[in-house]
Amino acid sequence: MGDVKAEVRAVAEAARAASAKLAQTSARERDGALRAMAAALRAQAGAIVAANARDMEAARAKGTADSLLDRLMLDAGRIEGMASALEDLAALPDPVGRVREERVLENGIALSRVSVPLGVVAVVYEARPNVTADAAGICLKSGNAAVLRGGSMAAASNEAIARVLHDAATAAGMPRGCVGLVSSADRAAADALMELHGVVDVLIPRGGAGLIRRCVEHSKVPVIETGTGNCHVYVHETADADKARAIVLNAKCRRFGVCNAAETLLVDRSIARSFLPETMTALAREGVTLHCDDEARDCAAWAADAAARAGVEVRFDCAEEDDWATEYLAPELAVKCVEGVDAAIDHVNRYGTRHSEAIVADPQVPAGAQAIEAFLARVDAAAVYANASTAFTDGGQFGLGAEIGISTQKLHARGPFALEALTSYKYVLRGDGQVRA
């Protein structure tokens, strides 16, 4: 434990020292380093794959599930993906040095507010080793030093990637320590990072709810909370049924394990019998189990009878109170009938995690337009959608460039956060001798 603490502090302090130099580099120098890092990943792909093979072997020996093995695995194609992501970053505009505002005060002092890097950004993550390259790249692009703590399962892969990146970056003129990897991938390393107030400027946990809660509860370093998403799709009585069904299926089934997947379907009572059975059958075809309130259960039973004749099994049961608050991250969906938009908004604000929320309604009819405006205005979430799938909240769909996570807090960054959220600002004031009365 003492060793881990000392190691983490040493890596973080090297990053701190590097950050002062990084803040003085030009965008051109940093972009050059990103391209050099991409080239180095390609050149050393063999060594990285070999390191990854050791992680894979150890994980298989432990009986790790196939889905996790797939997340862990690196091959030439995935390394190429990491490299080209770094090149994409190099092509993005510089987030540092931007003048956010400029004014001359009444006393003649010229004030400007200029974007500067945060300093040292720590990222704590789990399975995927590509996060090592993504996080290092995003931090470097924004002039920040990175301290990375990956998952233990990917230890050898992460070490190989971080070494290649650091060597390439320093060879390209970046300061030593600009990309630091904490080699101890256990919980003590994350705990040690949380203590480093004044050395680390922000801690970004990317992982399960347990990791995020631990950071929120214990970190002395400011945390950006990411990722927990209990998201809803609400189908208003004016909705076009086909559009609504497509949105529900996309939001639920596109990927079950992502934070912006829908976990509860809310449907206006007045259209439950016309809308739900066919929708439930379509969900069942995707393997989704339904947790239904009483009215939705009647619809599910009806759908199950009809679907059985077509050889499709509709699995459903009674929702319990917990279902409304559960982020399944799995082929499961809670279904509830509500009495109009106010009830839907109340339900979402009560059980949602302020991530991504959608309404489907017809904006061409007054009741639909009113419901849309009420939902968008009153639902408290990072992203509120009318007539589109919640699936757009991640994966760079908002056009912000490379994202480092999806924030579910309101401070500093909300929703998908990218390069701009890895900057702060300073006030620069130029006078000619002004003093205050």
Q: For binding to a second copy (CB under 8 A), which residues are involved?
A: 20, 23-24, 103, 105, 107, 109, 111, 116, 118-119, 197, 201-202, 216-217, 220, 222-224, 240, 243, 246-247, 249-251, 254, 349, 363, 372, 376-378, 380-389, 391-393, 395, 397-399, 409-412, 414-415, 424-436
Residue among 48 and 247 whose Cβ is closer to a second copy: 247
How near is the Cβ of 149 to a second copy at its closest, in Å?
19
- 76-91 vs 27-43: helix axis angle to the nearest 10? 170
Please name the residue that has the structure tokens 């003093």. Answer: 435
3-class state of residue 381 by DSSP: coil
How near is the Cβ of 126 to a second copy at its closest, in Å?
22
How near is the Cβ of 109 to a second copy at its closest, in Å?
5
Residue among 16 and 35 whose Cβ is closer to a second copy: 16
Residues 6+ apart with CB under 8 A from 95: 115, 141, 142, 419, 420, 422, 423
Residue among 152 and 424 whose Cβ is closer to a second copy: 424
Token pair, residue 218, equals 């214990």
- Name the β-bridge partners of 114: 99, 426
∠416-8-49 over CA atoms, to 5°?
70
Main-chain phi, psi angles of 111, to 5 degrees: -105, 135
Residue among 366 and 431 whose Cβ is closer to a second copy: 431
Main-chain phi, psi angles of 358, to 5 degrees: -130, 145
Residue among 297 and 414 whose Cβ is closer to a second copy: 414
Residue among 201 and 263 whose Cβ is closer to a second copy: 201
Main-chain phi, psi angles of 413, to 5 degrees: -140, 135
How near is the Cβ of 265 to a second copy at its closest, in Å?
15
- Please, are residues 314 and 302 in contact by the beta-carbon 8 Å criterion? no
Cβ count near 392 (within 10 Å): 18
Nearest to 186 by CA among 214, 162, 167, 166: 214
Residue among 250 and 281 whose Cβ is closer to a second copy: 250
> Looking at the chain, how many residues does it have?
437
Nearest to 265 by CA among 275, 218, 274: 275
How near is the Cβ of 419 to a second copy at its closest, in Å?
14
Residues 6+ apart with CB under 8 A from 192: 4, 5, 8, 9
How near is the Cβ of 36 to a second copy at its closest, in Å?
25
Residue among 49 and 262 whose Cβ is closer to a second copy: 262
How near is the Cβ of 31 to a second copy at its closest, in Å?
19
How near is the Cβ of 49 to a second copy at its closest, in Å?
29
